[in-house]
Every structure is written in C-alpha cells, then in structure tokens.
C-alpha cells in the first residue's frame, strides 16, 4: 500500500460551526482520499469519529441504518468538545458500493440480513483497515484519542498501531426501519450496543 500522501486544508463554515477541513490523498481515485472535519481545541485526547461513507443514508437518506444520525451527532460533539471526524470514502464497510447494493438486494428479495448477504456474496463482514487513519493521527501528532464508536474492530485497529484509545459510545436509538440492521451488527458482528444486550 502506498504510504505517501498529499494534504490540503482550508476552513469550512457549516450548519454546525466553523471547522478546519482536511483532505489527505494517497492516489488518483476518490477512495484514496480521506476527509477530516476538525476542531482540535486540544491534542491531548481529542474526540475522534472514524466513519466510512454511507451514500444511501447520508445522501439519499435511506431509513434502514443509523449512519446519517451517527455522522450528525459526531459533528455536533466535536464542535462542542473538540476533536475530529475522519471520513473514509469507502462504502459498504469497505466492500464497495457495488457489493453493498448487491447485499441490499439480497435483503429485499431473499430476506437476508447484512451479515448473511455478505456471506452469500463471499465478502468479508468488515474488510476495512485503518493504517491511513493512523497516518493522519501521526501527522497531527495525536497519540491518544477518545474514539466515538460501537465497533470493537475500530478500537483494535488503532490500538494495534500504538494509539491509546478510550471508547466513547455513539449509540443511536433504533427505529422500526433500522432495528433489524442494528441488531445484526450487535449480535453477529460484535458491535457494542446496550439497547440490544441480552440478559
């Protein structure tokens, strides 16, 4: 993997507030870019959200997941408390948009959940890796983070690279349309969500 990157930064005025807006680029393709929305009040232990693109929810506002709400809540929190959203341009938990749509269609036509659909498509449940995220943190001299996540793989990905991680839950209350997806992430993929804990 190419470890050399280019970086550009500007100021971005948003509905949530003013932020530093970074683009880190490792190549010519869109998925080789990672975007960062930052309000780094202190580098001691900033609040960090690592989020992958979910174009169906974030652009087209589909109702079957909590991705838009997680992004919205994360930006509000970093504006308030200081930190950064690190936004990876890889949909489908890193499997790609085409595979994601294939999985969604298996859900619609065969009643498969996302875990079952990825298994049928012979795709890893969560093929993302976080070496480029770690490069960004190193570039900004961030060694310790409060990580907004319910996903233990994200925690492990940063810890294994030498980043000190304190988990901050980012749990969005399930709706009738998102409940099945969130239950699958909890019960089959190990995500840490109290609302689906079994006694």
pLDDT digits 0-9 by tens, 62-87: 988 889 999 999 999 999 999 999 99
d(CA 54, CA 84): 18
Per-residue pLDDT of 112-129, as tens digits, reads: 888 888 889 998 888 888
The edge-to-edge listing of strands for the beta sheet with 144-148 is: 6-13, 18-25, 33-39, 83-88, 47-52, 144-148, 164-168
- pLDDT of 92 reads 81
Predicted TM-score (pTM) above 0.95: no
d(CA 140, CA 137): 5
72 is catalytic: no
Between the alpha carbon of residue 92 and those of residues 46, 79, 96, 131, 149, the distances in Å are 27, 27, 5, 18, 17
pLDDT band for 188, please (50, 70, 90 cuts). Answer: low
pLDDT reading at 11 higher than 70: yes
177 touches 64 (CB < 8 A): yes
Q: Which residue has the tokens 């030498």?
A: 162
**Residue 69 DSSP symbol:** H
CA pseudo-torsion sign 86, 9, 44, 1: positive
Q: Where on the phi/psi map is residue 25: left (φ > 0), alpha (ψ -120 to 50), or beta?
A: beta
Domain borders along the chain are 8-90+128-194
93 is catalytic: no
Per-residue pLDDT of 129-175, as tens digits, reads: 899 999 999 999 999 999 999 888 899 999 999 999 999 998 888 88
Higher pLDDT, 188 or 96: 96
Average pLDDT value for residue range 101-120:
89
36 touches 74 (CB < 8 A): no
Of 49, 93, 128, 132, which residue is the catalytic one? 128
Of 113, 126, 132, 153, which residue is the catalytic one? 126
- pLDDT of 2 reads 67
- At the top level of CATH, which class does the domain 8-90+128-194 belong to? alpha beta
Average pLDDT of every residue of the chain:
89
């Amino acid at each position: 993997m190419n470890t050399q990157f280019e970086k550009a930064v500007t100021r971005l005025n948003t509905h949530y507030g003013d932020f530093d807006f970074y683009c880190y680029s490792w190549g010519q393709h869109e998925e080789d870019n990672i975007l960062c929305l930052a309000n780094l009040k202190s580098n001691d232990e900033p609040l960090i959200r690592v989020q992958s693109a979910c174009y169906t929810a974030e652009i087209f506002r589909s109702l079957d997941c909590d991705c838009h709400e997680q992004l919205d809540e994360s930006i509000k929190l970093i504006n308030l408390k200081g930190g950064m959203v690190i936004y990876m341009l890889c949909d489908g938990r890193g499997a790609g948009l085409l595979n994601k749509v294939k999985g969604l269609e298996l859900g619609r036509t065969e009643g498969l959940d996302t875990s079952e659909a990825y298994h049928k498509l012979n795709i890893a449940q969560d093929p993302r890796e976080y070496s480029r995220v770690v490069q960004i943190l190193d570039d900004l001299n961030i060694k310790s983070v409060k990580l907004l996540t319910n996903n233990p793989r994200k925690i492990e990905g940063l810890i294994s690279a030498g980043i000190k991680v304190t988990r901050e839950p980012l749990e969005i209350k399930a709706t009738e349309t998102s409940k099945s997806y969130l239950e699958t992430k909890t019960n089959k993929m190990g995500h840490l969500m109290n609302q689906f804990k079994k006694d």
